[in-house]
Structure formats: structure tokens, C-alpha cells
Structure 1
Amino acid sequence: MPNTLADEVVDYRFKGLPPDAAGMTVSALAAERRNLFTGGFTTPVLALSAEALEHNLVALETFAERHGLAFAPHGKTSMAPQLFARQIERGAWGITAATPAHLRVYRAFGVQRIFLANELVDAAALSWLAGELDADPEFRFVCYVDSVRGVELMNAALRAAGGSRPVDVVVELGAGDGARTGVRTEAECAAVADAVAAVSTLRLVGVAGYEGEVPDATPERVTAWLRRLVALAADFDKAGRFAGLDEVVVSAGGSAWFDAVAEVFEELPQLSAPVLRLLRSGAYVSHDNGQYRKLTPFNRVPEEGSLRAAFTLWAQVISRPEPGQAFVNAGKRDAAHDLHLPEAKVVRDAVTGAVRGADGIAVTALSDQHGWLRVGEGVRLEVGDWVGLGMSHPCTIFDKWQLIPLVAEDGAVTDYIRTFF
């Protein structure tokens, strides 16, 4: 990974960082190992637990290895090149993207294998992609196709770009009527595959989809859809659509059903070429105290492992206007709130520094820069105290913080995670 992140200068652009660190490089500040609570950091400040992060990285690496899965975690969860590098060090095949902007960030930081979990029909992006593929023979790229029209647009743009390497594509099987993207029927999947076969700018290398969009998802519904995906791969192979490939790609897997993906992918029959069973779960890297805490597959199969919530948003009590009411200085600009409100987890006393549980304290609303707290009768909470908030839905917390302290259990900040959105 380039040294540009370590050499970046700390200044007013990065909220929560110590004002007296202005002008220092990130690497120099990290070398000081300042304490998050006594080292000059200002509130609100988002902290990423070093221990929980490492635990989560190991958990999915182990799960993928145990089930014979390749792993391309969805990078849009964090958009943090330092975390991409750690995931790849932990055996990830590559990183999954969602938009052309993601692709450019990934390539700027040397990611060599990218799975784009969308159909790419932007002519300017396809022209750039053709150049990347031609300039780097080792660069592997795969993306969805989910329509004949999309194939036509991709072909036109790639022909105009004049690239020499075809773009590898997988037909996306939609998760059912009312789901998000993807081809709805197997017959339409075949029509899209035929369209790909008719052009020289694209190469069909497999099938894929996202089981997290199965309407009214249950284990039975998700498993049924995954079996459709596996059957589609087998049917395409029997029809000779993968002739000449060294490897067939079959991919699925968000962060809520990776246990089902592992189980059904084990049912894949032998095809004419080895199969890359590619899992794409991404939210695991930080986990959360809301959406994925409830949905993690490890809740269903605890013997497979566990995940830990790695984020704490520290905010300071700035007002106690009524006995049952308090306000902290973190709001919508700081906290994930698209699915669930943050949860009050701990309180750090402003005078003694002692940390206690936040029982009896609840976040009831967020304004732009205020968190509304309901405080139970007899609960101690004073102006100046720090409240540690657990975050829900990690996909929308990384994008609110561009430089995130990585904090060891003793409070020492050991590194700073740079994000790009």
C-alpha cells in the first residue's frame, strides 16, 4: 500500500483529533500512542477497537477456510484501504466494489482483484477500466450483467475504448420479484448469457447474486434462492457456456446469511472447470450494535465463531436541562442512524475517569449535532461526562469519519484508519 496515508498531515479536516497535533503526519501522531481520553482528542470522536477488529478479521478468515470459500469482502462497508490490506493479508481473494468511484480508490491503493457487484454501464468508467486492464495484465476484474440492454451498452463503450482484454462478467440472478437488481427468471438469464456470447468485449465467467435481498427472508427462502443460483451455474455449464474457462465464478454472500451460502455452495456439482466459490460479506469487519448483531449467522451457528462490535462513538454530555433529559454533542453528522439509533453502552466520568455501565440511559432521537438521551430516575449522568455509544449498521458510519483512531484496550491510539467516500 502506498505511503501516502501515513504521510498525510493531520489538520482541521479530521474531526475529533487533537488540535495540538495539527501539522503532524498521521504516522508521527500514531507513534505517540496518545490516550483517547487524556491525549487531547475532542468530542465527538469515533473509536475503532484494535482487538475487536483483529478478532473479526480472524473470524471470517477461519470461516471461509473451513468451508472452502474464496473471500472478497465488500469494501463499500469501510472504504478504508488499510482495512483492505489487512483483509487481503488474511487471505481475501480480493475486494468487492459497488461503484466506479470505489474502483478508482481500490486501484489507487493497489487492489489487484476486484468484484463489482453491479452492472457497469457508465461509458467513461468502462473506458477507464479498459485502460486499467490493458496496463496491468495481473489485474483481475469481474462484474455483474443483468440485462441484454446492459450488455449492449457495455459492448459499445468498450469497443469505443479500444481495449485489448475482454471484461469478465457474471450473470446476476435476482433474489425474486420485488428484490433489488438482477435477472428475474432463468430464461432471461440465458438470454443475457447469449448476448454476452455474441460480443468480443465481454467474457462470461459465472453467475452471482445477493441473497440478502430475498423478499421476506427466512432460512428456507434464502436457501431456496441459493439453490436456484447453484442450479443456474450447473445448467450454464451443461450448455457449454463456460467452455474454455480455467475457473467458473459462483458468488453470493452478504453479512446476514453467509452460513446459508456456505452450506448451499457445498452442494455445487463438479463443473467443467474448477469453481471459485466467492463469498462477499463485508460488514463483519467492524460489526455493530444493531442491524448485524441481530442478523449475524454466528447467532444461528455459534460453534462457527463470533463477531464483536468494534465501534464506539464517544460523545460528551453538554446539557442536563431536565431530570430525565440529557443532550450529547453527537448527532446525525456523526452517528449511523439509517436503520437504528445508537445505543448508550458506557459512561466515562468527567472527574475521575472511571467507566461505568449506561444502564437507564437511552438515545431517543438525533438532531444534526445533538443526541437526545432519556435518563432514568436515579441514574447518575453529569455535564462533561463522556458517553460511549454503540453504532448500528456499519455501512453508514465509516462514511461520516475520514480519519478514525484505532484504539487498543488500554486506550492508546495505535493507528488512524483513513476512509474515502
Structure 2
Amino acid sequence: MNASEQLDHTVRGIPPGVDIPDRAVATQRWAPADGSMALPVLTMDMEAFASNAKAFLEFAADEGVDLAPHAKTPMIPEIAASLVERGAWGATVANTQQLAVILGGGIRNIIFASPPGGAIGCAHLAKTLSLYPGSNVYVFLDSFETVNALCSALKQNPGTTAYGLIEVGFGRTGARTLERCLEIRDAIRETGGAIRLGGIATYEAAAITATESSAATFARLFRLVADAYASVVAETRSDEPVIISAGGSVYFDEVIHALKPLVVERRESKLVLRSGALFFSDDGLYQRAFSAMAERGLATPIARAVRPTLSLWAEVISVPEDRLAIAGFGMRDAPNDQGLPIVRRVLRDGKAVEIDPSLLPQVDKLNDQHAFLVGRSVGRLKVGDIIELGISHPCTALQRWRVVFGLGKDGRVERVFRTQFG
């Protein structure tokens, strides 16, 4: 058996002395809430994830749009594959390592949502594509230099091709003007089929600034997307597929409203959303984003249906002062780039401690391995209490863990998910 399929002391959450295969985890009947697992540990509510997936896939089908969820959020190939099995068009990646992992997971429609760079990046990308014949990989391209580098690299791997997406964007990568888009389009057409003209891509959230309203920014961005899309359609046969790809997990409603009308009139065109963090949600960044989306009214039902799936479990290890408690987790375990973890509940001897939800302790700061808890109810905490926390930003939560434990309805571990961030 491959060592990576064993659960032992090298994995956070595993009790001392245990050495079992992943597939045997359900037989252990572990539950983070009752102290049977070593803490801290990160878990995923599998029922909540399945509910989120069902709701969003049904929403996309009703709206007539396709999904290629961004795999960088969990980097768990079986999760990406499960979404495709449930109806997603494909998956999205951001670099060559992610591409290799997801192609290795059996997915064949993939959006490479970043310019691959010059000769070095394109050489590795082309080599990866050559290892998976029959795959359809759509690559962001925002300069003729990258088009030329990718074309050269593909020709070094005979029979290997890619689809080129002209990336339009403000604030990060992407062509800023229609003239630049036309340059890229023409460069793609001149590759002689090594790169096929696949459509347009953008990432709307990167365009937002503090000096302009999001409405004004989106109006400018989507106008450029529309013009660039028209230029691609003008150079493409009516039976050739053309996609527009956009939509993170925060503004996909705005994307559908603005860009869906562009594709409905052409049978071979489709709008592909890349929303990935949505399937996991959280108690901070995305909870706020979905509340704002519900207020906008463009996708209120799905915004209200999605719920958090990830929980971080830790133990209170010290109460050194009346108004301070220390929990045994820190920046090695929890994200802090989009807000600190949020205490959901406190458990003692396997039972919830009754505390008014509005008075639950708050995480004030994190060290590497310690969390500082403050608030009016901190005095009620005792050493040995277990706290369940929600996180803010699932992407940077999951990347800290190579093993995430899937919980069933009874709160006990049913399966193991291994992340592959490299």
C-alpha cells in the first residue's frame, strides 16, 4: 500500500499509536466533538457540501450556464470529479501542477485560469498536455508573447493542442483594450491550429478598486468582454465552440446578468462560471458576500441556500487571566488573510455549553500554534473545553491541511479527503 494512503502520527487529528489505511477510517467511529481525535483538526460536513453542490448545479442548469469549479480551493481530485459527475462541465486550475493533478483525476474539460508565462511556463504546460491526449484545456492568454511561446512549446510535442481564451481584465492579468484583444486573437489564428481560438475569459473581482463603484467597473469590464467576444465570433465558424468564462464565487450573479445575453443567440457558445469556493462557503468572507448577493436580488435563492461546510476543532489549553483563554491552534492551522476564525460553540464532556450566540468568545489574534480568545463569556471557559470554529476563506483554510476528515450526519468521521497542493 502507498504510504500516502495510511493514517498515522504524521497526520493531524490522528490519535497516538494509530496506523490504519484511509479506507478503514469509518470503522474507528472518531468524532472531534467527543475528544476521540487529536486536536486541532479540520473537518468537512459532507451533507452540507452535497446540499451546496446540488443547489448550485440546479441553479446553473436553470440559468442555462455551465460550471467549471475552481479546483484550487480544495485541490482534492475526487471532489472535482464528483462535481463533474453531478453535472459540472469541467474544472478550473491556476498552474501546471494543479493541471496535472486534475487531469490525473480523469477530468478532460479544464480552464487554465492564468497566463502560463513565457518559454519556461509554456514548455511545462505543453508537456503536461502531451501526457493526457484527448483533453480540452482552455488557456488564458493576455499577450502575443505568451501566444508565441505556447505555440512553440506545443509544436515541440506533436499532436498536442490547446484552446486559447483571450483574457480581458483590469487590476491583475488581462488585456486592457480591444486593440490588445485583437492582437491576441490574430496571433492565435496565426498558430495554424496549434492553439485554437476558444473564446474570452475574465475575472471580475480583480477589477474592483476603492476609487470606483463596482457597478461602474463591471460596466467597463463587461463592455470590453462583449466587444472582444464579438471579435472572436466574427473569426469563428458557426459550428465551432466559443466560451465566455468568468465568475468567481462573489459576483457570479452580476456575471450572469451581464454576459449570459451574449451567448444565448449562438448555439455553440456557452457561459462557463468558475465559482469554486462557493461549494464550501464559510463563516466570514463568503457569508458576507452571499448576504450582499441576496440583497442584490439577482440570485437570492442560491445565496441563501449555501451554508458553511468546514469546521476547525481545538481545545482550550490555558486560561491564564480572567478575560483571556488560549486555544491550541494557530496560523499553521487556520486562515487569517480574510478574517479570523469564528467560534460556533463550546463543548464540555461532549455536550454544548449554553452560551448566548451573541456572547460567544472571539478569536482576537493568532500565533503559530496559539489562538487568543477574548470576550464577555471567556470567563466561562475551562481548560479542556473543545471549541468548534468556522473559518473565513476556505481556499487558505484547506491549503493548510493535507488531510481533511469528512463527517456524517452523526458528527463522526466517515471518510478521508487528501489535498494535493504540492
- TM-score (structure 1 length as normaliser): 0.91
Rounded Cα–Cα distance in structure 2 between residues aligned with 1:342 and 1:19: 27
Q: Does 1:10 align with 2:10?
A: no
Structure 2 Cα separation of the partners of residues 156 and 184 of structure 1:
25
* 1:37 positional shift: 3.0
Where does residue 182 of structure 1 map in the other structure? 174
Kept after mapping to 2: 8 A contact 1:168/1:205: yes
- The residue that corresponds to 1:406 in the other structure is 406
CA distance, structure 1, for counterparts of residue 198 and residue 341 of structure 2: 42
Matches within 5 A, 1:348-367: 348-349=347-348, 351=349, 353-357=351-355, 359-367=359-367
Residues 6-31 of structure 1, C-alpha deviations (whole Å, 9 max, x = no match): x8111222111222432x10111124
| Cα displacement string for residues 87-141 of structure 1 (whole angstroms, at most 9, x for unaligned residues) | 1122111110001110111122212111000112364654454455455543111
Q: Is the 8 A contact 2:68 2:272 kept in 1?
A: yes
Deviations 1:291-337 (A, max 9, x none): 11111234533234521011111111111010000100100000011
SS in 1 for 2:42: strand
Aligned residue for 1:81?
A: 77
What residue is the counterpart of 1:303 in the other structure?
301
Instruction: Tell me the equivalent position of 2:329.
Output: 330
**CA separation in 2, counterparts of 1:27 and 1:372?**
36
Secondary structure at the aligned position of 1:48 is classed as strand
Provide the secondary structure at the position in 2 that maps to 1:369.
coil
Residue correspondence of structure 1 range 271-290 to structure 2 within 5 A: 274-290=268-284
How far does residue 263 in structure 1 lie from its aligned partner after superposition?
1.4
Which whole-Å CA distance do the structure 1 matches of 2:272 and 2:289 have between them?
20
Within the candidate set 125, 142, 162, 2:157 is matched to: 162
Amino acid at match of 1:373: L
Give 2:147's aligned amino acid: V
- Are the aligned partners of 1:405 and 1:415 in contact in 2 as well (CA < 8 Å)? yes
Matched, 1:389 2:385: no
Change (3 A) 1:383 1:134: closer
Q: Return the letter of the residue paired with 2:39.
A: T
| Aligned residue pair count | 410
Worse-matched range after superposition: 184-193 or 301-310? 301-310
Residue 150 of structure 1 is matched in structure 2 by 146
Structure 2 letter corresponding to 1:277: L
Which secondary structure does the structure 2 equivalent of 1:78 belong to?
A: coil
TM-superposed CA distance for 1:156, in Å, is: 2.4
Q: Secondary structure of 1:37's match? A: helix
Question: Partner amino acid for 2:413?
Answer: V
Secondary structure at the counterpart of residue 30 of structure 1: helix
Contact 1:207–1:249, Cα closer than 8 Å, also in 2:
yes
Structure 1 counterpart of 2:16: 19
Alignment partner of 1:171 is 2:166:
yes
Q: Which of 163, 185, 189 does residue 193 from structure 1 map onto?
A: 185
- Name the CA shift for 1:191/1:372 in 2 (closer, same or farther; >3 Å): same
Contact between 2:69 and 2:273, CA under 8 Å: does it hold in 1?
yes
Note closer, same or farther for the CA distance 1:356–1:59 as it changes in structure 2 (3 Å cut).
Answer: farther
Q: Is the Cα–Cα contact under 8 Å of residues 339 and 392 in structure 1 kept in the other structure?
A: yes
Q: Is the 8 A contact 1:48 1:311 kept in 2?
A: yes
Q: How far 1:226 moved relative to its partner?
A: 2.4
Residue of structure 2 in register with 1:119 after alignment: 115
Distance 2:373 2:336 in 1: 15
- AA paired with 2:372? W
Question: Retained in 1: the 8 A contact 2:122–2:149?
Answer: no
Q: Which of 245, 250, 260 in structure 1 is aligned with 2:244?
A: 250
- Stretch moving more, 218-227 or 406-415: 218-227
Structure 1 unaligned blocks of 5 or more:
none
Could you say if the C-alpha distance between residues 226 and 19 of structure 1 is closer, same or farther in structure 2, counting changes exceeding 3 Å? Answer: farther
Residue type at the aligned position of 1:167: A
Distance 1:334 1:378, change over 3 A: closer
SS of residue in 2 equivalent to 1:339: coil
Identify the match of residue 225 of structure 2 among 225, 229, 237: 229
Structure 1: which amino acid aligns with 2:301? E
Contact in 1 for aligned 2:126/2:150 (Cα 8 Å):
no
Residues 128, 4 of structure 1: alpha-carbon distance in 2 compared, 3 angstrom cutoff: farther
Q: Which residue of 2 aligns with 1:264?
A: 258
Instruction: Report the CA distance shift for 1:381/1:121 in structure 2 as closer, same or farther (over 3 A).
Output: same
Counterpart Cα distance in 2 of 1:188 and 1:123? 21
Contact kept, 8 Å, 2:96 with 2:124, in 1: the verdict is no
User: Given residue 5 of structure 2, which amino acid in structure 1 is its aligned partner?
Assistant: E
* Alignment deviations for residues 151-173 of structure 1 (CA, whole Å, 9 cap, x no partner): 122122223x2322332111000
1:208 partner letter: A
Q: What is the percent sequence identity of the aligned residues?
A: 32
Partner SS state of residue 66, structure 1: helix
Between 75-84 and 38-47, report the one with greater CA deviation: 38-47
Deviation by residue 1:268-296 (Cα, 9 ceiling, x = unmatched): 15666510210100111210111111112
Partners of 1:244 and 1:131 in 2: CA distance: 31
Q: CA RMSD, aligned part only?
A: 2.3
Q: Secondary structure at the match of 2:288?
A: helix
1:54 maps to 50
**Equivalence for 2:313:** 314
Shift of 1:352: 5.3
1:345 corresponds in structure 2 to 344
SS in 2 for 1:21: coil
